[in-house]
Amino acid sequence: MPFVTIDGQALHYIDQGTGPAVLLAGSYLWDQAMWAPQIAALSQQYRVIALDLWGHGESGTLPVGTASLDDVARQALVLLDHLDIDRVTLVGLSVGGMWGARLALSAEQRINGLVLMDTYVGAEPEPTRQYYFSLLKQIEEAGFITPALLDIVVPIFFRAGIDPQSALYRDFRASLAALPLDRLRESIVPMGRITFGRDDLLSRLGELDAVNTLVMCGDQDKPRPPSEAREMAELIGCPCVLVPEAGHISSLENPEFVTQALLAFLAERNPAQG
């Protein structure tokens, strides 16, 4: 498994396939396995890189001094430099889209295309910010994610009708329950505060390349509802696609639809691969 040391910590990533580069940036509380269906399909024609956020999956602790999503974007750029990737199509879901948009704005010459999925680059609305901060404080104080907190947190990520006995739901719940104290307090909670305490980027969305940007959102996404996706797409001037029968983790709830949408987007920008 490949790692690169960035700001003193080991960042884990996978690098699969050959061709034009695609960087998959995932959600808070998930590792790169949330892209498994897309990695399998896209790597037939593209070089697919998927990273684990700090404190997630196999990646190391959130580096000292990491204080904002701009820092996370800069760290991802270090990964691209390490891999000698000049231009990449960046697909960011949730927090991956939040820092992905920042990377696209700070290093536009490196971006071949940008897909913002189930994400919002505006500031977190104050009521939900306070609510998420209160959950993070409870996790920090308990030292683990209690069953009561799991009952609150896990459903946030899925469409309302998902079967709680399904493997997708149960495996995610089990992964959160197993998070150790040090990882929660040193990485997960601070990363949550960085994410939900982010600054507002909406005023800069017009600077993105509308022709090479796509906004996607699960039609039943609860934390990042379609109204936010439409707002961003309008500010960018790009298409907005709703993923049917999907909540926040649309890449796993409707993987076939997401994969086909990404393949179509990539084919338009890489005609030789289509």
Contact (CB, 8 A) for 210 and 238: yes
In a domain, 186, yes or no: no
- Domain membership of residue 214 (yes or no) is yes
Burial class (CB in 10 A: 0-12, 13-18, 19+), 172: buried
Provide the pLDDT for residue 272. 81
**Which residue has 């000049």 as its token pair?**
86
The answer to the question of residue 136 being in a domain is no
Residue 176 lies in a domain: no
pLDDT of residue 271: 86
The pLDDT of residue 274? 55
Count of CB atoms situated within 10 Å of the CB of 128? 11
Measure the CA–CA gap between 150 and 174, rounded to whole angstroms: 9
Strands 47-51, 240-243: pairing is unpaired
Residue 174 included in any domain: no
| 29 falls within a domain | yes
Instruction: Spell out, as residue ranges, where the chain has pLDDT lower than 50.
Output: none
Burial class (CB in 10 A: 0-12, 13-18, 19+), 112: middle
Q: Which domain holds residue 102?
A: 3-124+200-273
33, part of any domain: yes
Instruction: Please count the structural domains in the chain.
Output: 1
CATH number at residue 114: 3.40.50.1820
Do 60 and 10 form a contact (C-beta atoms < 8 A)? yes
Spell out a b/e string for 75-110, using b for 16 or more CB atoms within 10 Å of the CB, else e.
bbbebbeebebeebbbbbbbbbbbbbbbbbbeeeeb
Cα distance between residue 85 and residue 187, in whole Å: 27
- Is residue 134 one of the residues assigned to a domain? no
